[in-house]
A and B are shown apart, each in its own frame.
Chain A
Amino acid sequence: MNRIRILLVTAAIAVGIGLWFAFTAPVDRLQGEFSRIVNVHAPFLWVAFLAFGVTALASIMWLVKKTRRWDRLGEASAELGVVFTVAGLFTGMVWGQAVWGRAWDWGDARLATTAVMLFVYVGYLALRRATPDPEMRARRSAILGAVAVVQVPLVYFSVYMFRTLHQTPSIRPDGATMPEQMLIALLFNFLAITYLYFALLMARIYVARAEEAVVVDGSLAGDAVKPPRLSEVEDV
């Protein structure tokens, strides 16, 4: 538990520092203050992508090894993935709306693929919630994860094909021409937010383990059924 606490606290500090960097770095001429959002938006999306990969990997590892820890990892990563994806999309939409006057940009393939990823997560978590038996839950979600591993790259690929065909000039500039300070801020935030993901992941797995310990119950299902008390029929 202490280790988790340390992780969380240091992560919070790191993110704090990152934010400070973000707010003190110089602003982009065109975008104004809103360019600061990129400092969290891009890392959020990166972590969303990472979390997805971790869930997919955990699913396959579960199918191979069949040990609980992979299931816990997959579940934790998926939950965090949803959070970070929503955060990333939200910050992206705020940025788009404020800077370019448009919250959603069809020309940017990354948006569409990220949205798809979000719904795959949501489906994964919905499947987990719908399955009461822990063993079955682990099994089914691992299978879905494995299918996603196969399908999602195809989704990405197809969306990119779509985008290159419907080439609209990219209105979201890449960061290559950023001044050095902005670049440092951005990179630091990448690291800080990734670290945050990691800390939260460990915390979530810890909680999951604690939950499981409580559930185990020695009684048998059939014990609760007792023979009828026929002599008391009259009393009803």
Chain B
Amino acid sequence: MWSPGGCRRAIFVNPPREDTKTVTLLPTRAANETLFERVEVEAGIVTGSLGRITQRWRPWHFEVQRGSSALPHQHLPIDQTALSSVAVEDQRVVERWRETEGYHGPTADSLGNHATCIPAVSAVRWAPEPARDDDLLAHREQLSDSDAGDLSLQGRPMRLQRVGAHIVLENAGVSLGGHRVLRGLNFSVAPGEVLGVAGPNGSGKTTLLRLLATLVRPDEGGGRVLEAALGTAEVYAIRSEIGLVGHVPTVIGELSLRENLEHATRLRGEDLSRIEPALRVVGLDEAADRKVEASSYGMLRRIEAARLLITEPRLLLLDEAFSGLDVDAQELMDALIVRTIGNGGSVVMVSHDAAHLGRRAGRVMSLSAGRLETVP
């Protein structure tokens, strides 16, 4: 139903009236066929569902004064929040959010760009009036790159911004301890994409993820992650936007689960009030005061999930994250993936179970002998 591929977007723009234009933005085509089981549109709200997880988008219409350079962007609310109105005031795009009970997402005001959700806007199309439900489903074509850039709509300039790929690797290789572990890696990951990497044990999957997490530098070739060149000091700026779920849960042993979460939240400068909702979502609100040493593996994974809910990474890296988890916890991981995608981010999952990857990822590559090959 939704076209495969990377992050594409159709914008429906009304023919301009005197000095205003109405822009309707569709959500990122973030849901590939294999991720969501069902996609529906009702009353202008698009809903994608995967099991018990739903992701909703509300395409919004707003009017932009002619000549303003407000860059169109979009927040994709996660479950249980709603964007109640968007308006242009004083040449700024202002969103108002209605916070519902439960977990809440990004904050209220935004000015122009919002780093987490810059869309990969590729083109503009005219539509006679604001898109109707059928249009949303029907008009989702692949738009070509040449449509990007500065466009003029009937003579009036309007700037669209293009965002780059989240990951680009060019012939990258890594050696550790004198042995070459990865070599000749060439691929890219676009925003909104879920990439699966399958491979047997010992093929270097963990090293690949650590390379993408900028924790290891390539000693051959290079690449960019979230626009920062690997192996340079640029990575320090984007590290906080990466979330890594490793083989072993990363928690501080002597603290309780709640304290771990508080510690991470404080280090990130996030608001402590987000902790309770996060704990509720992962189902640990009552167990949170247990010490890590007294907690099961599944609980530690859930606390990691809670931490990722708070830190909202743009790039989510999962290293065998589904192994050893019960159904509830697996759903939690799925929710994290959906949420990351919904926010315009991307996900790279690594597993030795190719079938499992196939259910979640839009594209699967196989890593063997340090090289990556696309699996058809």
* Interfacial residues, chain A to chain B (CB-CB below 8 A): 132-135, 215, 217-225, 227
Interface residues on B, range: 10 to 19
**From B370, which residue of chain A is reached at the shortest CB distance?**
A220
Given contacts A220-B179, A221-B370, A222-B368, 10 further A-B contacts (CB under 8 A): A132-B178, A133-B177, A217-B179, A220-B183, A221-B179, A221-B204, A222-B204, A225-B200, A225-B202, A225-B203
Least Cβ–Cβ distance between B18 and chain A, in angstroms? 60
Known: A133-B176, A227-B200. A221 touches B181 (CB 8 A): yes
Give the CA-CA distance A219 to B178 in the complex, in Å: 11
Q: How far is the CA of A101 from the CA of B41 in the complex (A)?
A: 99
- Which B residues from 132 to 148 make CB contacts under 8 A with A? none
A216 to chain B, nearest CB (A): 9
Chain A residues contacting B183 (CB-CB under 8 Å) are 220
The residues of B that contact A215 with a CB separation of less than 8 Å are: 178
Chain A CB within 8 A of B180 CB: yes
Are B203 and A222 in contact, CB atoms less than 8 angstroms apart?
Answer: yes
Does B369 lie within 8 Å of A223, measured CB to CB?
yes
- Report B174-219 residues with CB < 8 Å from chain A CB: 176-181, 183, 200-204, 219
Q: Please indicate the chain B residues that have their CB under 8 angstroms from the CB of A220 in the complex.
A: 179-181, 183, 204, 369-370
Residues of B within 8 A of A219 (CB): 180
A132/B177 in contact, CB under 8 A: yes
User: How many Å lie between the Cα of A219 and that of B369 in the bound state?
Assistant: 9
Note all chain B residues with C-beta closer than 8 A to A223: 369-370
For window 160-178 of B, CB contacts with A under 8 Å fall at 176-178
Secondary structure class of chain B's binding surface, majority of residues: loop
Q: Which B residues between 324 and 376 are near A, CB-CB below 8 angstroms?
A: 368-370
Expressed in whole angstroms, the minimum distance between the Cβ of B43 and any Cβ of chain A is 52
**Residue among A134, A218, A219, A221 with most chain B CB within 10 A:** A221
Given the complex of chains A and B, what is the CA–CA distance between A221 and B179 in angstroms?
6
A218–B180 alpha-carbon span in the complex (Å): 8
**Which residues of the partner chain B approach A227 to less than 8 Å between Cβ atoms?**
200
Hey, which chain B residues are within 8 Å of A224, CB to CB?
Answer: 202
Q: Is the CB of A221 within 8 A of B202?
A: yes
User: Nearest 9 A-B pairs (CB), nearest first?
Assistant: A225-B202, A221-B179, A220-B370, A222-B202, A133-B177, A222-B203, A221-B181, A132-B177, A220-B180
Q: How far is the CB of B272 from chain A (nearest CB, A)?
A: 36
Chain A residues near B180 (CB-CB < 8 A):
217-221
- In Å, the complex CA distance between A164 and B8 comes to 77
What residue of chain B has the Cβ atom nearest to residue A225's Cβ?
A: B202
Q: Which of B248-281 contact A (CB under 8 A)?
A: none
Contacts of B177 in A (CB 8 A): 132-133
**Shortest distance in angstroms between B14's beta carbon and chain A's nearest beta carbon?**
56
**CA separation between A109 and B203, bound complex, in Å?**
57
| Docked complex: B96-155 residues within 8 A CB-CB of A | none
Closest Cβ neighbor of B173 among chain A residues: A220
CB distance from B9 to the nearest CB of A (A): 39
What chain B residues lie within 8 Å of A134 (beta carbons)? 178
Q: How far is the CB of B176 from chain A (nearest CB, A)?
A: 6
Q: Which B residue's beta carbon lies closest to that of A227? A: B200
Nearest CB of chain B from residue A92's CB, rounded to whole Å: 40
Nearest CB in chain A to that of B217: its residue: A135
6 contacts between A and B (CB under 8 A): A132-B177, A219-B180, A221-B176, A221-B202, A222-B203, A223-B370
CA distance A90 to B137 in the complex (A): 87
Closest Cβ–Cβ distance, residue A121 to chain B (whole Å): 25
User: Does the CB pair B219–A135 fall under 8 Å?
Assistant: yes
Q: Bound complex: CA of A33 vs CA of B61, how far in Å? A: 101
On chain B, the residues within 8 Å of A225 by CB distance are 200-203
- Interface centre among B179, B183, B201, by most A CB within 10 Å? B179
In Å, the complex CA distance between A143 and B127 comes to 62
Chain B, Cβ-Cβ closest to A131: B177
Question: Which chain A positions have C-beta within 8 A of B370?
Answer: 220-223
- Min CB distance B103 to A, Å, is 40
A185 to B8, CA, bound (A): 83
Q: In chain B, what residue has the closest Cβ to A135?
A: B219
Query: Residues of A contacting B179 with CB < 8 Å?
Result: 217, 220-221
B319 to chain A, nearest CB (A): 16
